[in-house]
Amino acid sequence: MPGNLALLERWAGEPRIATVRPEPLPEWGIVGAAVGFANRGDFRSWMRLRQGTPWRVDADPDSPIARDLRDTCTAERDVLRQYLLAIINREVTQDLISLWRRRASSLVLTPHFSFAAGQLRVSYLHRAGELFDLPPNCAISYALLLLMDTKRTYGRDLCLCRFKSCGKFFFVVRPPRGRPQRKYCKREHMLLAHAANAAERVRRSRLNRKRAQTRRRS
């Protein structure tokens, strides 16, 4: 898998057909892979959602196949981020759910079982369909449906970092003590956001005082 993905990422090597080595993912792993792709938007995380999908790599980065791959990956990520925001803001319509159901219906899941320490673990190999399908692809559609399922906690735990320079999706952080963290993906961003907000409050306060002084003089 690293060799194949490196070819894709570098747009190098001879034109060929290759497949990403299947990687069994548990249910939460498919959801996590979708959220990871929404955050990073790189080919490695995209192809992780496209197991078993044949793809071709051309040596020329300006070749039609290279441009199509870049455009498809970018469009997939843009649509996914839009849908994740809709889930967080509770703006998902029945039409969207119907679309995800139709797209997810072409996903082929093959269970993979492991048993350790007296516990059964189930993960899935998935076949994600054609490379240039319109977004969202079937694997992403399945992840979106899992996020919408009220019997699961994925959707309730999905958050968007409020630090302006971040915009990362993450799952709620539950520390041993204190309230769950839903606003910021990490403490550093919380501190930076608070500092920026404090500076903005000071700026507005000074501006308001200046305006008040101007009105008194006039």
| pTM of the entire predicted model | 0.76
Q: Considering the chain, what percentage of its residues have pLDDT values greater than 70? A: 70
Residue 95 structure tokens: 């039409």
Give the residue-averaged pLDDT of 180-184: 89
User: Rounded to the nearest 10 degrees, what angle do helices 138-148 and 27-40 cross at?
Assistant: 110
Q: So what's the pLDDT on residue 12?
A: 30
| The residue type at 26 | P
Give the residue-averaged pLDDT of 164-174: 90
Q: Using 50, 70 and 90 to split pLDDT, how confident is the model at 34?
A: very high
**CA 48, CA 55: separation in Å to the nearest integer?**
13
**CA 160, CA 42: separation in Å to the nearest integer?**
19
Name the DSSP letter for residue 58: -
pLDDT at 17 exceeding the cut of 70: no
Q: Residues with Cβ < 8 Å from 68, sequence gap 6 or more?
A: 132
Q: So what's the pLDDT on residue 24?
A: 83
Could you check whether the bond before residue 136 is cis, i.e. omega within 30 degrees of 0?
yes
pLDDT at 85 exceeding the cut of 60: yes
